[in-house]
Structure 1
Amino acid sequence: MNRTPTSRRRFLGLVSGLGLTAAAGGVLGGCARGGQDASEVVVSFNDLSQPFFVAMRRELEDEAGKLGVKVQVLDAQNNSSKQIADLEAAAVQGAKVVIVAPTDSKALATAADELAEQGVAVISVDRNIVGAKSPVPHVGADNVAGGRAMADWVVKTYPAGARVVVITNDPGSSSSIERVRGVHEGLTAGGANFKIVAEQTANSKRDQALTVTQNVLTSMHDTPPDVILCLNDDMAMGALEAVRAAGFSPDKIKVLGFDAIPEALARIKAGEMVASVEQNPGKQIRTALREAVAKIKTGAAPKSVSLTPVLITSANLAEASRISEVK
């Protein structure tokens, strides 16, 4: 794509700034060994402070080692402007494929279009990119099905109805939009006795979920909810802490999460938490990286891959380990 002198200067400035950030704070990290130049495959995670994406990065590093490739890892720090700038800089540096977990599903559309026009393939993981001129190949779990699985558990466990609190993850992300949709669809199918008595975001953060849950339980102390559905596990940890601090037992207010991180699985085993949705971050990022390498080596267009999420409870806890072993 031809760019104006002003645009080119902006791009070069971004590259320079990105290099400074990498040197000062370690935002860029080469992982694995061999193969391509480090700039050929770039992976941008929306927020590497979240345990889910820490796990995904670990799986990425392992798969890169097996494939003999190098990747650059970028942390958008949950900032769409930074992620867009990072991706533009990656293109100038010579990236051939960008794998991105978007901070915001719509905000990345223009950046994806610009990368495509420059011949850079884009693959999204975990969260879709919405609104691009051409659909962006996506590797991820069916988040609607995951949200519905949570709601189905509620309907099955409370056949007479339940009061439900929903704590949502990052606003604007496809994962949040789709998980909320699945929860609403499932509870609506259960009937009018299944009521969402509070729905609020905690931005995927444990401390914010703690505060949100404390406020909810304070306002509803005499008529507490039956279930708290947290749309990621880090928030579920905060909700569990608030429930315990308010004097409620795990049987009185049941907490479900999403992601099946090790801490959540340990809480399920201990009986402190009811369930978590396993969406296999390892298989997501490994599949995306394989698609990226195939694109570089053969020119094959990356394909979308949809994974089926599994609700992990104490009854099928061993299944979480089996899923995580799928490479």
Structure 2
Amino acid sequence: MRKLMTVAALGGLVAASALAGCGDGGGGSGDSLTLGFSQVGAESGWRTANTKSIQESAKQAGIDLKFSDAQGKQENQIKAIRSFITQRVDVIAFSPVVESGWETVLKEAKDADIPVILTDRAIDSPDKSLYKTFIGSDFVLEGKKAGEWLVKEYEGQDDPVNIAELQGTPGAAPANDRKAGFADVIKAEPKFKVIASQTGDFTRTGGKQVMETFLKAHPDIDVLYAHNDDMGLGAIEAIEAAGKKPGTDIKIITVDAVHDGMQALADGKINYIVECSPLLGPQLMDLAKKVNAGEEVPQRVLTEETTFTQDQAQEALPDRKY
């Protein structure tokens, strides 16, 4: 009888173990959560800070993070997402390189019953069922904030204001939206004229090269609007090399508020920065846990952000985290 009871007990333990294994629906084990994340690349200081925030937050949250760097190429990102599907991760998150062309691979994730979270950048698909939520900034609003500062800065002046624009990566949501928001604000006043607009691909090198071209073709530039700090910082090098004083001879507006950009603002080389926070990691991990548990989440989660003048940058720099 004692032998029979021992066998029965062992059988119960085996059954319980088998049931626990059946309950594991993804790449993790037991109660762990596996998150597959595809990053755009490492094109800027902002992106580096964003990656660090996600990696550190996953570790703190006890989430198994499978990280992939797309190196700025959509085809790499699509391959990564398909790899995550094959690995049966619990949740997929990614920051889209461009807005279009995601329906097929996201339909594959949906068919595999793996929830998707968009981070930082949106997609232009009308099918909102392809992802659970989008966490990130309002890029149109960022462009509008840049335009509003410019309008106020030149209030009461009737002379033409010649603007050069350094755009982000073609087809990327922040490039499209920051351009649209800025244009929407300044269009009411004919004195504001965008005389040159070209992509610097969100990189410091690109910003410098394009600004060199701008300055040769348009020696009468009054204002530079750069879609991110890194392009603005590259442009500063070109402006100084041309014998002009950034922030004075050419007023500069940028977006992001990374440390190097904030330092340039504090030094008077940039005039105004619209913040776009890269520290999305904690919110992303919280959302990943909720969608994995089947909880309802808002389809749009905004990050809290501000703007900076020179004085505000000087005050904020000592405690700046990125």
User: TM-score, with normalisation over the residues of structure 1?
Assistant: 0.82
Structure 1 residue identity aligned to 2:267: A
Assess if the C-alpha contact under 8 Å between 2:263 and 2:317 holds in 1: no
Q: Could you tell me which residue of structure 1 aligns to residue 174 of structure 2? A: 175
**Within 2, Cα distance between the matches of 1:199 and 1:170?**
13
Q: Deviations over 1:60-84 (max 9, x none)?
A: 1222232122211110001001110
**Within 2, Cα distance between the matches of 1:90 and 1:79?**
17
Report the secondary structure of 1:281's partner residue. coil
Aligned equivalent of 2:54, options 36, 39, 60: 60
Assess if the C-alpha contact under 8 Å between 1:45 and 1:74 holds in 2: yes
Q: Could you tell me which residue of structure 1 aligns to residue 150 of structure 2? A: 154
Assess if the C-alpha contact under 8 Å between 1:171 and 1:201 holds in 2: yes
Q: Could you tell me which residue of structure 1 aligns to residue 109 of structure 2? A: 115
CA RMSD of aligned residues (A): 2.0
Structure 2 alignment gaps of length 5 or more: 1-29
Q: How many residues get paired?
A: 285
Q: Deviations over 1:68-127 (max 9, x none)?
A: 222111100010011101100111011121111000111223222221121111111111
From the superposition, tell whether residues 277 and 84 of structure 1 become closer, same or farther in structure 2 (CA, over 3 Å): same
State the identity as a percent.
24
Aligned equivalent of 2:271, options 269, 274, 280: 274
User: TM-score, with normalisation over the residues of structure 2?
Assistant: 0.83
Aligned equivalent of 2:308, options 309, 312, 317: 312
Structure 1 alignment gaps of length 5 or more: 1-33
Report the secondary structure of 1:299's partner residue. coil
Instruction: Measure how far apart 1:176 and its partner are.
Output: 1.0
Q: Deviations over 1:175-213 (max 9, x none)?
A: 111111111011113x11111111111111211211111
Assess if the C-alpha contact under 8 Å between 1:146 and 1:179 holds in 2: yes
Which protein is bigger by CA-based radius of gyration? 2
Assess if the C-alpha contact under 8 Å between 2:32 and 2:64 holds in 1: yes
Q: Could you tell me which residue of structure 1 aligns to residue 93 of structure 2? A: 99
Assess if the C-alpha contact under 8 Å between 2:224 and 2:252 holds in 1: yes
Q: Could you tell me which residue of structure 2 aligns to residue 300 of structure 1? A: 295
From the superposition, tell whether residues 155 and 202 of structure 1 become closer, same or farther in structure 2 (CA, over 3 Å): same
Aligned equivalent of 1:131, options 111, 125, 139: 125
From the superposition, tell whether residues 322 and 186 of structure 1 become closer, same or farther in structure 2 (CA, over 3 Å): farther
Within-5 A mapping of 1:1-327: 36=32, 40-131=34-125, 133-135=127-129, 136=131, 137-159=133-155, 160=157, 161-189=160-188, 191-221=189-219, 224-250=220-246, 251-282=248-279, 284-296=280-292, 298-303=293-298, 304-317=300-313, 318=315
Assess if the C-alpha contact under 8 Å between 1:144 and 1:182 holds in 2: yes
**Within 1, Cα distance between the matches of 2:80 and 2:64?**
18
**Within 1, Cα distance between the matches of 2:319 and 2:181?**
25
Q: Could you tell me which residue of structure 1 aligns to residue 13 of structure 2? A: none
Runs ≥4 residues deviating over 6 A: 320-323
Structure 2 residue identity aligned to 1:316: Q
Instruction: Measure how far apart 1:308 and its partner are.
Output: 4.6
From the superposition, tell whether residues 321 and 66 of structure 1 become closer, same or farther in structure 2 (CA, over 3 Å): farther
From the superposition, tell whether residues 80 and 305 of structure 1 become closer, same or farther in structure 2 (CA, over 3 Å): same
Assess if the C-alpha contact under 8 Å between 1:112 and 1:132 holds in 2: no
